[in-house]
Amino acid sequence: MEWISYLGPLWQGAWVTIQLTLYSTVLGALLSFAAGIGKRSSIWPLRILSAVYVEVFRGTSLLVQLFWLYFALPLAGNAIGIDLRLDPVVAGVLALGLNIGAYGAEVVRGGLKSVSQQQLEAAQALNFTPRQTLWRISLPQAIPEMLPAFGNLAVQNLKDTALVSLISLGDLAFRAEQVRNFTQDSATVYTLVLLMYFGMALVLAGMIKLLEMSVGRWRTVSR
């Protein structure tokens, strides 16, 4: 029963992975809404800012973004005399959140676009301001539409956390590599790791499903 002894360090790593996923998904969600709403703003600098953010972070690799934040940013900071060295956790959460937020922004934009013109006309006829219409009419109807796509992104994000092992952050992938180096038992270690990622993904997908059911209750009522 050699493999039981692997579970300690692997569980340690899994806990880091869970935290990374949680923080970066929350950050990503906030950025998604900020940029997704920003892209439809009537204020043009907000539109441009949102579009630039989305294009830059969708158009470059997550790995490069991570390395840039962790290795290049401190050097850039040095050059102008500011300390921009980031803790690996902070760099990891930032890179993952910024990356997933750029994809999420498109989901938010698409969701808002799917709200029917008739709903917006009803809101205007009742004299709601554009802001009230967004928060009280459009978003509550669009969020249930967005959640399945958000679920995909969150699972994607969970799997992407493995990249942070490359800046020597002790997540699941990093611990797996350590255990494997130490024991040379690749088959067992990678099988365990596979199952652990899969288990976490299942739990995450289940949580999103629950959220979907609770925010979209009005969609399933029948006469």
Partner 1 sequence: MSSQTPASPDQTPARPLVRFSKVTKRYGEHTVLDDLDLDVAAGEKVTIIGPSGSGKSTVLRILMTLETLTDGLIEIDGEPLWHERRGDQLKPASEAHLRKMRGQLGMVFQQFNLFPHMSVQRNLTEAPRQVLGLSRKEAQSRATELLERVGLADHANKYPGQLSGGQQQRVGIARALMMRPRVMLFDEPTSALDPELVGEVLHVIRTLADEHDLTVLMVTHEMSFARRFSDRVCFFDKGRIHEQGTPEQIFTDPREARTREFLRAVLEPDV
Residues in region 33-92 near partner 1 by CB under 8 A: none
Beta carbon of residue 74, minimum distance to partner 1 (angstroms, whole number): 47
Find the part of the chain contacting partner 1 (CB under 8 A) among 8-16, 20-28, 32-40, 134-142: 134-142
SS3 127: coil
Residues in region 181-210 near partner 1 by CB under 8 A: none
- Contact between 140 and partner 1 per CB under 8 A: yes
| Residue from 44, 118, 184, 214 binding partner 1 (CB under 8 A) | 118
| Residue from 5, 60, 78, 124 binding partner 1 (CB under 8 A) | 124
The two structure tokens encoding residue 100: 């997933």
- Contact between 137 and partner 1 per CB under 8 A: yes
d(CA 111, CA 145) in angstroms, rounded, equals 6
- Contact between 219 and partner 1 per CB under 8 A: yes
Beta carbon of residue 189, minimum distance to partner 1 (angstroms, whole number): 48
The answer to whether 204 and 155 have CB atoms below 8 angstroms apart is yes
- Contact between 125 and partner 1 per CB under 8 A: yes
d(CA 163, CA 157) in angstroms, rounded, equals 10
Give alpha helix (H) positions in the chain: 4-38, 44-59, 62-67, 73-79, 88-113, 117-125, 130-132, 139-160, 172-183, 186-215, 217-220
- The C-alpha R_g of the chain, in whole angstroms, comes to 21
Task: Provide the binding-site residues for partner 1, judged by CB under 8 A.
Answer: 118-119, 121-122, 124-129, 132, 136-137, 140-141, 218-219, 221-223
